[in-house]
Amino acid sequence: MAQFSSTFLDELISRSDLAELISRHVDLKPSGANLVGLCPFHHEKSPSFSVSVDKQMYYCFGCGKGGNAFRFLMEHDGYPFPEAVEFLAQKAGMPIPDSKPVNPEEAARKKSGLELLDKVAGIFSRTLNSDEGKKAREYFEMRKLSPALIQKYQLGYAPAGYGFMKRCFGEDNHNLSNLESIGVLIKNERGYADRFRERVMFPIRDKQSRVVGFGGRILGDGEPKYLNSPETDFYHKSHLLYGYAEHRESVRKHKMLVVVEGYMDVLAMASYDLDYAVAPLGTAITESQLNMILRLLETPVFCFDGDKAGRKAAWRSIERMLPILKSEHSPRFLYLPDGEDPDTLLQKEGKDAFEKRLKEDGKPMLETWVLGLKNIAGDGAEGRARMAKKADVMLSTMTDDYLRQAWQGEIEKATEVKLSLQKPAQTLSRSKQPIARKPAQYLAVNPMKHDQFMAGLLQNPVRFQNLPDDAFDFFIDTHPIYPIYTRAFSLVGDEKNTELDIAAQLMREFPDNQHIARWVNLPIVDDVEFQQLLMDMHITYLNGLHGRSKDIGVKMRIIKELKTLQVQQKQFNKNLSHKESL
C-alpha cells in the first residue's frame, strides 16, 4: 500500500462517487442522512446495506461488510488494491503520480511489454482483414460470427510460416527478444520463429482489459487444435478467464454468468447477444478462477458436456470449489445433451430456448455433488458406506461452517450413515477470522452504547473537543477498539488536522476494521443522545475505576465525582422531559 501517497489516495476518494459506484449493482434509496439498498454481499429481502454519502463509506448491518470505495472494488469486484486505485483514478480522470516502484526498470519493462502485446493484437486483427486473412474470415463466417463481433473481441489471424513477426517488426535482436518475452516468438537453435502459425487468434485480456496473451485455433487439421501463450510475466493462465473483461459489466447487468468450456463457446453465445459467458484457458478450472467467478456473481451456471469428460470436469470443479464456497453462493450445474455444445444447441433451438435452459435446467451444486457421489460409490450398503466416507473427506475441506453442517445433514440422510466429520485440516482452513479478543468485563456490559458513542464522535468530530479530561480512558486498553479511539484522539488533537476527515483517515490506517464504516453509517446520533451517552460512558468508567482502585483516598475522590455526575444526569433528563412535555 506504500506505493501511493496518502494525499493522492485522499484526493482520489474525495473525487470518487461511492454511491454511483455502488448503484451500478444496488438500487439505492435515500433514508435519513444515508442511502440504503439490498446488500450485494449477502442475500436479503429487506435492505440493511447503507451508504454514507457524506463520509464516502458503506456498511451492511446484516453481514458486517463495510469500507470505502477501494474496499468495495476489492471485496465486491475482486480487484487487488493497486488495481482498485487505478480503476478509480481512471474514472476520476486523475493521473496516478509517479510512485516510486520498487524497481523502476521492472515497471518500464512491464509497460512496454503490454504495449507490445497490444500492438501484436492489432497486427493480427489487421491481417484478418487483409488478403492473407481470407481463409480465416471464411472460418469465422462459417461459425456465424459477424464482423461487428469479430471487431468487438478483436479476433485476428496469424498467417502460415515462421517469419511473420520478423516481417512486421524487422530483424532487430532487441525487438525479437521482446517478442519472445511476451510469448509470440519461440527461440531455438536457428533463431526466432513464430509461435502462432496459420491460426485464428483470440486476444486474452486481464481484469483491466489489457491484452496479456493469445489463444490460437488451427485453421484446418493441424495439431494442436488450440494453442495458447506460454506462461509469461503477463500471461498466467490459471488467473485469467476468457471473456471476463469483455463481459464483466454485462454479467452484473443481467445477473447471469455462464461458465463454458472454450473461446468458441463464449463467442457463439455472444453472437446471439448472450454476452455473459466466460471460459478457462484450455485447462481444468482453478481455484483462483473460481474465486473470480463467484466474486463476479454468486449464482453462476457451470455448463458442461453431457458426456463422461463433461461429468469429470464438473466433479473437478466441485472439488476445487468446496474450500471457497460460502452460504451466500448458489452455483448451478448444467449438463448439455450428449454431443452438443452451446454453438450447436443455439443453432438448433435458438436463443430463447437456450437461455431458458440456462436459467431453469441447472441443478444446485449440492444435488450435483450427491449424484456424483452416488455414481462413484455404487449400490448397496457398501456403496452407501463408500459414499459417506468420500463425502466426509470432501466436507472436511469446506471452510464455511454453516454450509458444511447443512451439507453433512443431506449426506447423512442420503446414506443413513452418521458422518464423523473430520475436523478441517489446519492447512486446508483458509478462514481468516481472527480469534476474538476477550473484551474487558465491565465494558462488555453494553456494547451498543460504545457503538453509539463512537458513531456520535465520528459523525461529528467536533465532539472530541468537548470530552471530559478522563475520556481518553473510556475504552481501557484491552478493548478491541481502543487503538482506533486513541488514534482518533491524537488526530483531532493535532492542529495540522483541522480540515482532516477523521473517519476517512482512520479507514486508511485501519483498512481491515469494519467498525469505522459501521459507525458513520449508523443513524445520526443527535446532540441530546450524545450528551446522554457521554454521561453514561463517564459514569460506567468511574464505576469501573472505583471497583479496581485500592487506594481509599482515590476511591473517595471517585465517589465525589460520580455523585456530581449523577446529579447532572438527573437534571439533564428532567430538563429533557420538561421540554418534551411542552
Among 10, 11, 17, 42, binds Zn ion (CB under 5 A): 42
Give yes or no for residue 328 binding Zn ion (CB under 5 A).
no
Identify which of residues 41 and 474 has a Cβ nearer to Zn ion in the complex: 41
Decide: is 39 part of the binding site for Zn ion (CB under 5 A): yes
Looking at the Cβ atoms of 397 and 521, the one nearer to Zn ion is 521
Q: What cell was used for 338?
A: 450428449
Nearer to Zn ion, 49 or 453 (CB): 49
Among 62, 122, 163, 306, binds Zn ion (CB under 5 A): 62
Distance from C-alpha of 40 to C-alpha of 47, rounded to nearest angstrom: 10
Interaction of residue 333 with Zn ion, rule CB under 5 A:
no
Q: What H or E segment, with its residue span, contains residue 29? A: strand 29-31
**Alpha helices for 129-243 (secondary structure H):** 134-142, 147-152, 164-169, 173-181
Question: Shortest distance, CB of residue 38 to Zn ion, whole angstroms?
Answer: 9
**Binding positions for Zn ion, 250-269, rule CB under 5 A:** none
Between 43 and 119, whose beta carbon lies closer to Zn ion?
43
* Total interface residues for Zn ion by CB under 5 A: 6
Between 42 and 557, name the residue whose CB sits nearer to Zn ion.
42
Nearer to Zn ion, 43 or 143 (CB): 43
Min dist. Cβ of residue 432 to Zn ion (A): 17
> 338: which residues sit within 8 A by CB, 6+ positions away?
305, 306, 307
**Residue 212 host element (H or E):** strand 211-218
- Choose between 63 and 476: whose C-beta lies nearer to Zn ion: 63
Instruction: Report the distance separating Cα 88 and Cα 76, nearest Å.
Output: 14
What distance in Å separates the CA atoms of residue 497 and residue 2, rounded to the nearest whole number? 21
User: In the bound complex, what is the minimum distance in angstroms from residue 468's beta carbon to Zn ion?
Assistant: 37
Q: What are phi and psi of 251, to 5 degrees?
A: -60, -45
> Smallest gap, in angstroms, from Cβ of residue 104 to Zn ion?
41
Q: Are 127 and 135 in contact (CB under 8 A)?
A: no
60 binds Zn ion (CB under 5 A): yes
Q: Which stretch binds Zn ion (CB under 5 A): 59-67, 170-178, 540-548, 550-558?
A: 59-67
Distance CA 479, CA 436 (A): 11
Examine residue 41 and tell whether it contacts Zn ion (CB under 5 A).
Answer: yes
Query: Is 328 or 410 the residue whose CB approaches Zn ion more closely?
Result: 328
How is residue 421 written as a grid cell? 466429520
Smallest gap from Cβ 64 to Zn ion, in A, equals 7
- Burial of 501-539, coded b for 16+ CB within 10 Å and e otherwise, reads bbbbbbbbeeeebbbbbbbbbbeebeeeebbbbbbbbbb
214 binds Zn ion (CB under 5 A): no
3-state secondary structure string across 429-472: CCCCCCCCCCCCHHHCCCHHHHHHHHHHHHHCHHHHHHCCHHHH
What one-letter code names the amino acid at 460?
Answer: N
- The 370-389 site mask, x for binding Zn ion (CB under 5 A), equals --------------------
| By the rule CB under 5 A, 143 interacts with Zn ion | no
- What residues make contact with Zn ion under the rule CB under 5 A? 39, 41-42, 60, 62-63
